[in-house]
Amino acid sequence: MNRNRNKLVAFAGLVIAVVVLVVAMVGGGSLTAPTTAPPSGVPTAGQSTTPASGTATSAASAVANPSTLPTINASQLPKEARQTLALIAKGGPYPYDRDGVNFGNFEGLLPKKSGGFYKEYTVPTPGESDRGARRIIVGKDSAKYYTPDHYESFTFIVEGK
């Protein structure tokens, strides 16, 4: 009898662990703290490169940050990212056939939206023989995000700055 109870307790513990893991994955949460520093040039969560509240902003930066992600001024992005932003503004043509495809936000780092809300665009990386890791993600709300590390981290792009 005691043996069956021990098996039942072990099984219940396993079920609870699986449920916690699934909730963390679906909810976009993390079970552990990040162990690596953000890539060079990308502000950490406590930093912001936007002007203090109450200062003037240009019409191009009219999109407010809909996330809790750190921000980066478009002028602070690598040259290739600024070129990709210009292509996006023009509507192309894009150098990669995967540019403009749906971005699923499976990592859950961007604001949660329905499927098809986000599109991704390649930011070429000098010296890479393929698309590299850098991308710009654009939401239907015109919010733009930069990831230098293939969706490991994101910053909200403040345009016009």
- pLDDT above 70 (res 118): yes
* Residue 64 pLDDT: 87
Among residues 80, 107, 120, 159, which one is catalytic? 120
* Residue 123 pLDDT: 96
Please check whether residue 135 is in contact with residue 120, taking contact to mean a CB–CB distance below 8 angstroms: yes
Among residues 80, 107, 128, 150, which one is catalytic? 150
Q: Which of 43-52, 59-68, 135-144 shows the lowest mean pLDDT across its residues?
A: 43-52
Question: Which structure tokens are listed for 47?
Answer: 């930093």
Alpha-carbon distances, residue 46 vs 28, 38, 76, 108, 120 (angstroms): 20, 12, 17, 19, 26
Q: Is 128 a catalytic residue?
A: no
Q: In what order do the strands lie in the sheet with 118-122?
A: 71-73, 155-158, 144-147, 135-139, 118-122, 101-103
CATH class of the domain whose range is 60-158: alpha beta
Assign 13 a pLDDT band (cuts: 50, 70, 90): low
Q: Is 120 a catalytic residue?
A: yes
State pTM to two decimals: 0.62
* Most distant CA pair in the chain, distance: 73
Q: Cis peptide leading into 93, omega within 30 of 0?
A: yes
Total residues belonging to the chain: 161
Q: Which residue has the higher pLDDT, 66 or 111?
A: 111
* Residue 5 pLDDT: 64
- pLDDT above 90 (res 148): yes
* Residue 62 pLDDT: 62
Assign 30 a pLDDT band (cuts: 50, 70, 90): very low
Rounded Cα distance, 43 and 45, in Å = 7
pLDDT (tens digit per residue) in 58-89: 444 468 888 889 999 999 999 999 999 999 99
* Residue 145 pLDDT: 97
Delimit the domains of the chain by residue range: 1-32, 60-158
